[in-house]
Structures are given as C-alpha cells and as structure tokens.
C-alpha cells in the first residue's frame, strides 16, 4: 500500500514517540515510480505567459516546455503542448504565475526541452514594443536589446528583423481602396446582370423598388426587361440622332459563326438566347463589354445595365474583313428555267410552283408517217407563298429554324437529321427530316 513513510529514531521499545518530534524529521514521499524524494529537493517553478503565434498567449512552465490553452473551467486551465506531434496535456490554476503540472492521464513529452525558445520570443517582443512606443532609431534598439539578451539575439539578424517590422507597418497603414481599371474576368452566368463592386449600393436601392410578392430570382430579369423596353424594333428604327442604329449580321471567321455589327464600330458574338433576347459579347478578347438585342432582324444592340464599357476605340466597318455569303444553287436548275423565272425582292420567302401537264400529241388515225412522241407543255409560273420551317445556311450542315436558333448536324439516322445548338453553353437538340424546308 502506497503512502507516506516517516523515518523514526531508533530507541528503546518502551520509549514514547511524540508528534512534534515526527514533524521535525525529514518527510519522504513515495511516488509512482517507486522512488523516494524529499519535498524540499525540487521546487516547482512558476509559469510565464509569452506571446504566441497569431496573437494567442503561450504558457511556459519554466522547464523548457510550452503550452497552448485547450479549455478553461472555473478554477483550472487545461493546456496542451504546442510542439507538433506531442500529445502531452497539463493543468494550472487561474492566478498569474501558477505552476504547471502534467495530468495523471497525460502522456510524457516526446521531445527534449527547449530553453532558448523563451529567450527568442522575449527578444522579439521587446524590440516590437520599443519600436512602436519609443522614438529611437531601430539600430540603437537592436544593440541595446542584444546586450541584454544575447541568446535571443543570436537567432536573428538586423536585416531580417528590420524587413519584418517594415512589412508589419505597411500592412497596418495600408487602407483598402476600390479596385480601378480592368474588371476581373468572370463566367457568363455570373457576369450577366451582376453589378461591379463600385455599383453594389445602386443594386441595393434598386432592390427596394421591386414590388412586393416578386421572387428574388426574378429581380434581375425585371431590370433586363426594363432596359429592353427602350430598345425600338427593327421596323421602327430611325437613323436620326439619339436613336440606336440598326444592327447587321455578318459572317464570322468560322464557317458556323456570325458576328453582329451595331453600326457604331463594335462587333459582337452571340453567347446564348433566352426570352426572345440574344446575349452578346464583344469580339475583342480583352474587352468585357456585354450587350443584348432582340431576335428580330436588324434589331439595335445596346449594352447591358451593369456591363463595363468598351476598352478599345470603335472599328470602322470598311476596315473589318468579312466573308460574303456564297450564292446557293438549287438542284435541277437549268438555263432555260432561269430565263423564264422573274426576280423577286425576297426570293427566300416565296417558292415557285411549276404546273405542267403532260399531253399526248394528237395523231391522225393510223398515220404511220407522223412521229408518235410525247411533247411537254409547261404552263405559266405563278408565285405561291410557302411557310418556311427551316433554312440551310452557308457552311457544311448549318440550319436556321426562323426562331432565332441555329443548329449544326450531328448525325443522320433512318432518314432523320439530328441537330444540336451552335451556342457552346446550350445543350438543346433538335431533329428534322431530310430535305429542304423540313
């Protein structure tokens, strides 16, 4: 059984033992390691609070080990060793300078003690405090502290500490300002209808004006529709001042692409189509301008509400090199047929209907001298309006459905042509029969 044992003076068996004599004797303690030690042999040092990383306090037990606070109760503070990989835990009282002792269930330290770390932290803290409070050159402060604490000064050089202090001062004195110049590139969905950091307060004011009961995800569409209401249609567009000029669709650099010219020297390419609106982006790579237009022909182009302006001068139309559409030829056309046909201002909107009747030539009965052959008589051509369902454009297997959507052929199976939308971000697919105007 473990406990305290006291060494008694050898005396006669009948001699009485007084309690005061026992107190005067040396008291020995029997510890868990089966060793004897006296209470006055090893004094427990007081703890010390040192500046830790990120402004957190670090507790030093005076024997080369450092701890961080794990939790704190009403009367005790539980600590954990700050050395990486060491799971030793200790406890201390809440009053200043309370000794630190390992818990009974804690593991021992798996690393040797480090006495020099305290000197290093104290040296660096004293230099920071004096440099911020005293109006003394940094070289004088460094020399004075190096004489007081040579062990801590051996870990640092003058240039290293000076560079560190200048960096801290510059970070504290720097005031964050709104970014100017080029706006960072963003994705299509994030850019559309999203304000820049400078226009964030404007968006909050506009959000208050949205009528009650409107879902929050429709506020952007409402603002976009308000901007589109001011865009005149293609038929009512005037070339007078103060009114947007009509746009022009021109063939792009690739066979399956178009560019849109706004009449002011800027060219755009289509990104997506939704809600009878075509979303455009400037063709210049470094320009982040976004614009919108209706799906009607020659509809004017206007910048989006929150789009940045163009960062390049306009380009005249005559300097823009574009490829003209190649003349399309119909199968089975002949020179005699082209001569008889009449030119119309809109050849794609009408179709020519040829009515022909095969008649057998009249022959005299039983006349062998005459030739019994068939003659073809072609009636007069008349123009009949035909509804256009689709249109094959210039380029290999490129189609337009007259609704503002453009497709290219993916494959042909069992007499059906499988199509896919030309917009890279759109996954729409369509089908059509083989043949013209299907």
**What is the per-residue pLDDT across 191-240, written as a single tens digit (0 to 9) for each?**
444 444 554 444 444 444 444 444 554 555 556 555 555 544 443 433 33
pLDDT band at 170 (very low <50, low <70, confident <90, very high): low
pLDDT band at 89 (very low <50, low <70, confident <90, very high): very high
Q: State the pLDDT at residue 5.
A: 47
Task: Indicate whether 331 pLDDT > 50.
Answer: no
Q: State the pLDDT at residue 420.
A: 86
Q: Sheet of 36-38: strands edge to edge?
A: 5-6, 27-30, 36-38
CA distances, 27 to each of 36, 45, 106, 360 (Å): 10, 21, 27, 144
C-alpha span between 44 and 243 (Å, rounded): 89
Task: Indicate whether 435 pLDDT > 80.
Answer: no
pLDDT band at 75 (very low <50, low <70, confident <90, very high): confident
Q: Over the chain, what is the mean pLDDT?
A: 67
Q: Can you point out the beta strands (E) in 267-405?
A: 267-274, 277-282, 290-294, 302-303, 350-353, 356-360, 374-378, 382-385, 391-392, 398-400
Q: State the pLDDT at residue 107.
A: 86
**What is the per-residue pLDDT across 37-73, written as a single tens digit (0 to 9) for each?**
444 455 777 888 888 777 788 898 888 899 988 888 8
pLDDT band at 395 (very low <50, low <70, confident <90, very high): low
Q: State the pLDDT at residue 105.
A: 87
pLDDT band at 387 (very low <50, low <70, confident <90, very high): low
Task: Indicate whether 110 pLDDT > 50.
Answer: yes
Report residue 97 as tokens: 């300078």
Residues in the chain: 438
Task: Indicate whether 355 pLDDT > 60.
Answer: no
Task: Indicate whether 124 pLDDT > 60.
Answer: yes
Average pLDDT estimate for 370-396: 53
Higher pLDDT, 325 or 149: 149
Q: What are the structural domain ranges in the chain?
A: 48-113, 117-171, 248-303, 398-433
Q: What is the pTM of this model?
A: 0.30
Query: How many CA atoms lie within 13 Å of 199's alpha carbon, on the beta-carbon side?
Result: 12
Higher pLDDT, 321 or 314: 314
Best mean pLDDT range from 88-102, 218-232, 342-356 = 88-102
Q: State the pLDDT at residue 354.
A: 41
Average pLDDT estimate for 311-337: 54
| CB contact set of 149 (below 8 Å; sequence gap of 6+) | 119, 122, 123, 126
Q: State the pLDDT at residue 81.
A: 92
């Amino acid at each position: 059984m473990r406990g305290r044992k006291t060494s008694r003076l050898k005396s006669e068996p009948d001699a009485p033992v007084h309690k005061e004599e026992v107190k005067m004797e040396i008291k020995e303690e029997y510890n868990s390691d089966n060793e004897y030690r006296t209470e006055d042999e090893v004094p427990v040092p007081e703890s010390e609070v040192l500046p830790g990383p990120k402004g957190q306090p670090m507790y030093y037990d005076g024997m080369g080990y450092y701890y961080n606070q794990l939790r704190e109760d009403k009367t005790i503070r539980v600590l954990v060793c700050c050395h990486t990989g060491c799971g030793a835990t200790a406890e201390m009282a809440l009053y200043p300078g309370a000794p630190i002792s390992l818990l009974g269930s804690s593991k021992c330290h798996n690393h040797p003690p480090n006495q020099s770390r305290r000197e290093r932290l104290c040296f660096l803290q004293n230099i920071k405090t004096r440099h911020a409070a005293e109006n003394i050159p940094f070289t004088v402060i460094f020399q004075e502290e190096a004489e007081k604490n040579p062990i801590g000064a051996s870990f640092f050089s003058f240039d290293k500490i000076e560079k560190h202090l200048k960096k801290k001062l510059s970070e504290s004195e720097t005031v964050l300002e709104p970014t100017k110049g080029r706006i960072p590139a963003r994705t299509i969905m994030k850019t559309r209808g999203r304000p820049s950091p400078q226009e964030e307060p404007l968006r909050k004011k506009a959000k208050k004006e949205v009528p009650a009961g409107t879902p929050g995800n429709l506020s952007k569409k409402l603002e976009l529709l308000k901007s589109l209401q001011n865009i005149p249609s293609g038929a009512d567009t005037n070339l007078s001042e103060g009114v947007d000029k009509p746009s022009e669709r021109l063939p792009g650099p690739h066979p399956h692409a178009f560019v849109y010219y706004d009449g002011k020297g800027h060219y755009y390419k289509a990104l997506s189509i939704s809600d009878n609106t075509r979303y455009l982006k400037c063709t210049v790579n470094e320009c982040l301008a976004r614009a919108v237009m209706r799906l009607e022909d020659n509809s004017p182009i206007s910048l989006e509400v929150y789009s940045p302006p163009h960062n390049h001068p306009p380009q005249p139309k005559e300097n823009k090199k574009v490829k003209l559409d190649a003349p399309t030829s119909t199968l089975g056309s002949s020179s005699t047929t082209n001569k008889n046909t009449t030119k119309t201002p809109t050849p794609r909107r009408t179709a020519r209907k040829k009515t022909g009747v095969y008649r057998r030539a009249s022959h005299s009965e039983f006349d062998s001298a005459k030739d019994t052959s068939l003659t073809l008589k072609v009636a007069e051509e008349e123009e009949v309006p035909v509804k256009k369902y689709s249109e094959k454009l210039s380029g290999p297997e490129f189609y337009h459905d007259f609704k503002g959507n453009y497709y290219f052929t993916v494959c042909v199976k069992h007499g059906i042509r499988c199509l896919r939308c030309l917009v890279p971000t759109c996954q729409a697919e369509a089908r059509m029969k083989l043949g013209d105007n299907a």
